[in-house]
Amino acid sequence: MKYLSALLLINLFFFSSWLNAEGQNIPPARDKYQLLTMPYNQRQLTLYRGQLQAKAGYKFAVRAQSFNADGDLVYLKNNGTGSVYHYYFINLRYGLTNFIEMGAETNFLRRGIREATITVVSTTLTSTDRVTVNKLTESKGHGDIFLYTTVRLPIRYKWFDFGATGGLFLPSAKYEPQKPANTITSASLSSADTYTINLHYNNTNGYGVPVYLVSAVSKCSFRKFSAEAEWAMRTPMKEGKNIRWEETLTEKAFSYYDESYSYLLSNIYTFDVSLHYQATGWFNINLNGSFFRTKGGWTEYWGNKYENPEKRLINLEPGFELQISPSLTIYQVAGFPLSGKNSDAPFYVFTTVSFNMFPFMR
Amino acid sequence: MKRIIIIYLLLLLTSSAFSQTEKLLVPSDLKQQTIITEPVTLHKGFFRAGLLLNYRVADRYFDSSGVKQYYRNSTWGSKSAYGITLQYGITDRLQVDLISEFMNTLQETQNTEIDPGTNTTVVTVDKQRGIGLGDSHLALKYQIIAEKERKFSLSGRLKATFPTGAKNPRNIKSENQYDLPVGDGTYALGLNLSARIITYPYSFSGYLTYTYNFTGEKIFITVDQIEKQFKLGNLFETGLSWNIHLNEWIVLGNEVNFYDEGEGQIEKAPSTLIPASWALSYEPSLIFQVYRFRLGESVKIPVLGKNVPADPLFVLMAQYIF
């Protein structure tokens, strides 16, 4: 009897642990999983309070064409001067409140631009000598660190949002070009005057001076559709100083010296408009139109200041946003140049992975 | 006592019974398995068709010293391959593959020649294009050690290559003006051994492949247009891969691949036209399983190498299982 009662008590204990107590349950306004999985059409422009986002991206661009000063398309691949462009970036953002966020960003790029090969022929009665000149301008290195703050309307996002960003590119990158790595290779064993000169210039990445950025963005949603428009401007804080390498070729040996010059960066204006469709909670497709323009600025050559040529480019960018898990999202866009002026016109694919979390929220 | 027993029995009646259950997999479920959960060969009677797009440009290369260099002269090249794969499960352990591809290669070079003596400038633009059906492959894959839960599988694959692509330059107008060949022009036989283990949500695999290239004949110099006997170097390939399910239908794949190709021969003598080469590459990929559709994209990044392109190879893949 005693044992049976004990058995019963043990059973009751386990049964009670299986019972779910149902009562009045007031769910929290939004838990972190809801916030992390918020679809684009319901998401505000800045991060949520306490949200940390780390992004890493890679852009692969094929520079097979460019727009000249008249806005005509020049097919670079036809004269063998096409090239590719590798661009990597990392971005870290943190939501201080539901309407203020801070962020930092930097990048790394690598590209090599070839110019058309030129051969100079020298014909005498006894021989024909050829000097071929190849020119490659390589740009490689880390970009400046960009620090910024974004504020948005202090209301809960329903169908309209507006935000503004202010930031500064700190001139943290090595911006002075490195010494050229020119070489000479003999193309003919029979003639000492037939050879190839390979000019190889080594540029870096970075503005060299602090650059301000201001931008304004607005977004509105209607059911599964959303539209977003962003205007941004970059302007230098001051004039900068840089060096330019010059070379002298004597007896098939190069000697180099550098000359200092001053410059003022051009202002850069961008305007993006995107239309989004939220196909499901985890998949958003979009079509973005991007306008880029530079204006002003100058560069010093031989003591004279020459105005920088104005550049323009309009791109069309279809893309998508795919939520893989609450913390992981992938973005991908492909860029197609439509028109421009004094600008490269690359086709590109830009892939970004975003990791999101609330480090201080249970 | 009696009352206690009645109460106890009543409690037992209201209790839920938990036991081990087994989910029954129906054929439609089997056709929706991801690259991690599916077996290494197709189930008997299953048929899968796939399209593959490879794209690479010629911007940099690993030279004969293994140093990464830009192509210095003004030249631009790109290579696209549109592959089609047909796979069929003859039994649950034996699969047959038929693979072919449509090639589109382009190479453009410009040279400006200035002669100050005669005050003339000659701009020469060479555009070489190769479009057409490439080589085809027939493969048989067999599960030597069938996959079991928490145990690895071992499979063997025998692949025969048929030179269905045009092996010679066509439409030759001059030394540098012609249509590029789109095929290797030689038969080849390859044997692959691969092992895989699944520890959900991960899978790990490794493989070894050796491909023997038979001798063939083709034109190497467009001026004389004489077909010469040649033999490509044999190919050894090995790789390790580990895949992870990011969610139930998206897989992140990672592969490290190494290949070594011996020096080729022309007229039974080593030739600089077919140098020995090797490459170590890393290939991350994302594969989406949407019901019976499988979509994937990957980038093969050459990390180290010798006499090989150093540009990334982009791959897009779409498959459907019938």
Give me the amino acid identity at A329: T
- Assess if residue A122 is contained within a domain: no
- Assess if residue B211 is contained within a domain: yes
Give per-residue pLDDT as tens, B237-278: 999 999 998 888 889 999 999 999 999 999 989 988 899 999
Does position B21 have pLDDT exceeding 70, yes or no? no
- Assess if residue A116 is contained within a domain: no
- Assess if residue A92 is contained within a domain: yes
Residue B98 in tokens = 């038929």
Instruction: Map tokens 């000097």 to a residue.
Output: A131
Would an 8 Å CB–CB cutoff place A184 in contact with chain B?
no
Give mean pLDDT, residues B6-30. Answer: 64
Give mean pLDDT, residues B222-238. Answer: 92
Would an 8 Å CB–CB cutoff place B311 in contact with chain A?
yes
The answer to whether A80 contacts B312, with C-beta atoms less than 8 Å apart, is no
- Assess if residue A34 is contained within a domain: no
Chain A residue whose CA is closest to B12 = A11
Give per-residue pLDDT as tens, A129-145: 889 999 999 999 999 99
Does position B17 have pLDDT exceeding 60, yes or no? no
Count: domains in chain A: 1
pLDDT for A23 equals 46
pLDDT for A15 equals 47
Count: domains in chain B: 1
Residues 325-344 of A with CB under 8 A from B: 325, 328, 330
Strand partners of residue B219: B227
Which residue range is the domain that position B71 belongs to?
26-321
Percent of chain B at pLDDT above 90?
67
Does position A96 have pLDDT exceeding 50, yes or no? yes
Give mean pLDDT, residues A157-161. Answer: 94
ipTM given for this complex:
0.81
Which of A8-12, B5-9, B63-67, B269-273 reaches the highest mean pLDDT?
Answer: B63-67
- Assess if residue B37 is contained within a domain: yes
Chain B residue whose CA is closest to A114 = B74
Strand partners of residue B301: B282
Distance separating alpha carbons of residues B185 and A75, to the nearest angstrom? 33
Does position A182 have pLDDT exceeding 90, yes or no? yes
Does position B49 have pLDDT exceeding 70, yes or no? yes
Residues 294-313 of A with CB under 8 A from B: none
Chain B residue whose CA is closest to A8 = B8
- Assess if residue A328 is contained within a domain: yes
**How does the average pLDDT of chain B come out, rounded?**
90
Does position B187 have pLDDT exceeding 90, yes or no? yes
Distance separating alpha carbons of residues A84 and A61, to the nearest angstrom? 6
Distance separating alpha carbons of residues A249 and A120, to the nearest angstrom? 16
CATH of the domain at A283: 2.40.160.40
**A194 CB neighbour count, 10 Å cutoff:** 19
- Assess if residue B199 is contained within a domain: yes
Judge whether A93 and B88 are in contact, CB under 8 Å: no
CATH of the domain at B243: 2.40.160.40
- Assess if residue A351 is contained within a domain: yes
- Between the alpha carbon of residue A58 and those of residues A145, B68, B218, the distances in Å are 17, 20, 41
Look up residue A72 and give its DSSP letter.
-
Give A112's contacts in chain B (Cβ within 8 Å): 59-60, 70
Give per-residue pLDDT as tens, A195-249: 899 999 999 999 999 999 999 999 999 999 999 999 999 999 999 999 999 999 9
Does position B14 have pLDDT exceeding 80, yes or no? no
- Mutation test of the interface with chain B: which of A10, A60, A114, choosing the one with the most B Cβ atoms within 10 A? A114
Residues 6+ apart with CB under 8 A from A109: A85, A86, A87, A88, A139, A140, A141, A143, A205
Chain A residue whose CA is closest to B310 = A84
Percent of chain B at pLDDT above 70?
93
Give mean pLDDT, residues A119-128. Answer: 83
The answer to whether B11 contacts A198, with C-beta atoms less than 8 Å apart, is no
- Assess if residue B304 is contained within a domain: yes
Give per-residue pLDDT as tens, A25-36: 555 566 888 999
Among the listed ranges A224-228, A250-254, B45-49, B293-297, which one has the minimum average pLDDT value?
Answer: A250-254
B15 closest CB neighbour out of A15, A112, A116: A15
Does position A9 have pLDDT exceeding 80, yes or no? no
Distance separating alpha carbons of residues A357 and A59, to the nearest angstrom? 25
B4 closest CB neighbour out of A8, A120, A330: A8
Give mean pLDDT, residues A35-53. Answer: 95
**How does the average pLDDT of chain A come out, rounded?**
90
Among the listed ranges A66-80, A334-348, B87-101, which one has the minimum average pLDDT value?
Answer: A66-80
Residues 6+ apart with CB under 8 A from A42: A157, A221
Distance separating alpha carbons of residues B168 and B147, to the nearest angstrom? 44
pLDDT for A186 equals 79
Which residue range is the domain that position A312 belongs to?
50-110+140-173+205-357
Give per-residue pLDDT as tens, B113-168: 999 888 899 988 888 999 999 999 999 999 999 988 778 999 999 999 999 999 99
- Assess if residue B7 is contained within a domain: no
pLDDT for A272 equals 97
- Assess if residue A253 is contained within a domain: yes
Would an 8 Å CB–CB cutoff place A11 in contact with chain B?
yes
- Assess if residue B9 is contained within a domain: no
DSSP one-letter string for B168-219: S-BS--SSS-SBPP-S--S-EEEEEEEEEEEETTEEEEEEEEEEEEPEEEEE
Does position A88 have pLDDT exceeding 50, yes or no? yes
Would an 8 Å CB–CB cutoff place B64 in contact with chain A?
no
Does position A20 have pLDDT exceeding 50, yes or no? no
Does position A250 have pLDDT exceeding 60, yes or no? yes
Would an 8 Å CB–CB cutoff place A4 in contact with chain B?
yes
- Assess if residue B5 is contained within a domain: no
Residue A289 pLDDT grade (very low, low, confident, very high; cuts 50, 70, 90): very high
Buried b (16+ CB within 10 A) or exposed e, B79-113: bbbbbebebbbeeebbbebebbbebbbbbbbbbbb
- Assess if residue B15 is contained within a domain: no
Give B16's contacts in chain A (Cβ within 8 Å): 18
Would an 8 Å CB–CB cutoff place A155 in contact with chain B?
no
Helix (H) or strand (E) run with residue A49 in it: none
Residue A21 pLDDT grade (very low, low, confident, very high; cuts 50, 70, 90): very low
Distance separating alpha carbons of residues B83 and B296, to the nearest angstrom? 14
Closest to B287 (Cα-Cα) out of B5, B106, B72, B34: B34
Task: Tell me the three state secondary structure of residue A296.
Answer: coil
